[in-house]
Amino acid sequence: MVKIENLSKVYKTRDGNDIRALEKVDLTIPEGEIFGIIGLSGAGKSTLIRCINMLEKPTSGRVIIDGRDLTALPERQLRAARRQIGMIFQHFNLLSSRTVAGNVAFPLEIAGLPRQAIREKVKQLLEMVGLADKAGVYPSELSGGQKQRVGIARALANDPRLLLCDEPTSALDPQTTHSILRLLQDINRQLKLTIIIITHEMPVIKEICDRVAVIDQARIVETGPVLDVFTAPRTPTAREFVKSVWNTAIPEELLYRHRPAREGESRLVRLSFIGQSAGEPVISTMIQKYGIHANILFGKIDQIKNTPFGTLTLELLGSPEDISKAIDFLQNQHLTIEVLDNHE
């Protein structure tokens, strides 16, 4: 388990100014979880991930991994603790003068493993990341996705309990991104490894993360299960990120057509449904029960990690009393419902 308590980081610039890169960050990341940290450029993501493995020394606060406070460890013990933490990078950071096998072997050599053990471990790791046939190749001969696979194999060499991923797919095309995220998910399942990913890309969060924290101007402004943040983002920053992959605004053309005849005779509602409730006949039951009409204005379905998730914008037509009862009915189903009074 990773626990970050009251973590702050202030950089001093050459002209003596303070840059507050992290302000009182608190996070708890349970074992075996894939945890995403999303934020815009300059929000403090890299600083945060580098403070977790103490590549950057926090100004104050604590980083506790499996019960040990890394900020209180002497240098020698810190070095040993760091071996339990793997890290992968946006630009892979491979050694160009070493082959693929040589790159993966590097941390094992530093740890002082015997040569035969290194050879076996490297073989096993390259098989795990699907690069068994590239052992003797140099990084310059690899695609971006293959380079990141080498990075992942190298990060796993010392059997870490935690894997930190610093924008791991930002330099990759969407298809390669998808295959790297699948690999990270497989590793998470197989090895029960805790993974922390920092990114500015919401699709990454949507595809593999269990929970997400939103960082904005050095502070964590929102945190929760990815499904919750998608269905009910609480802060403007989270709303903007959700909108980047999940825009549910009604097209102008439909809005223009939507002209309520009289106050209360027409309401717009947006329903969000998750998992099993996606298959329930809620709308037809509502129509039968309250004798109202429902126009579908907008609908969209997608998947968050492995859970189906959808949204439906309806125009409800009928008497104000019936519409109000229908909205109460919808509120009692396993749905999130928003009444869009301003016709957004």
* Footprint of ligand ATP (CB under 6 A): 11, 13, 19, 21, 39, 41-47, 200
Helix (H, G, I), strand (E, B) or coil at 301: strand
Please give the DSSP secondary-structure letter assigned to residue 167: S
Nearer of residues 39 and 233 to ligand ATP, judged by Cβ: 39
Nearer of residues 41 and 116 to ligand ATP, judged by Cβ: 41
DSSP codes of every residue in 187-245: HHHHH--EEEEEES-HHHHHHH-SEEEEEETTEEEEEEEHHHHHHS--SHHHHHHHHHH
- Least distance from ligand ATP to the Cβ atom of residue 47, Å: 3
Q: How far apart are CA 174 and CA 172, in angstroms?
A: 7
173's tokens: 């095309």
Residue pair 150/129 in contact by the 8 Å Cβ criterion: yes
Q: How far apart are CA 152 and CA 77, in angstroms?
A: 24
Nearer of residues 89 and 329 to ligand ATP, judged by Cβ: 89
Nearer of residues 20 and 119 to ligand ATP, judged by Cβ: 20
Nearer of residues 44 and 233 to ligand ATP, judged by Cβ: 44
- Least distance from ligand ATP to the Cβ atom of residue 31, Å: 25
Residue pair 44/205 in contact by the 8 Å Cβ criterion: no
Residue pair 49/196 in contact by the 8 Å Cβ criterion: yes
How far, rounded to the nearest angstrom, does the alpha carbon of residue 199 sit from its chain's CA centroid? 7
Nearer of residues 11 and 124 to ligand ATP, judged by Cβ: 11
Q: What are the phi and psi torsion angles at 267 (to 5°)?
A: -130, 145
Helices (H) and strands (E) counted in the chain, each on its own, are 12, 14
Q: What are the phi and psi torsion angles at 36 (to 5°)?
A: -105, 145
CB-CB neighbours of 106 under 10 Å: 17
Nearer of residues 45 and 154 to ligand ATP, judged by Cβ: 45
- Least distance from ligand ATP to the Cβ atom of residue 9, Å: 8
Q: What are the phi and psi torsion angles at 134 (to 5°)?
A: -115, 15
Q: How far apart are CA 270 and CA 290, in angstroms?
A: 18
Q: What are the phi and psi torsion angles at 317 (to 5°)?
A: -120, 130
Nearer of residues 41 and 140 to ligand ATP, judged by Cβ: 41
Nearer of residues 4 and 131 to ligand ATP, judged by Cβ: 4
- Least distance from ligand ATP to the Cβ atom of residue 168, Å: 13
List 313's β-bridge partners, or say none.
Answer: 270, 298
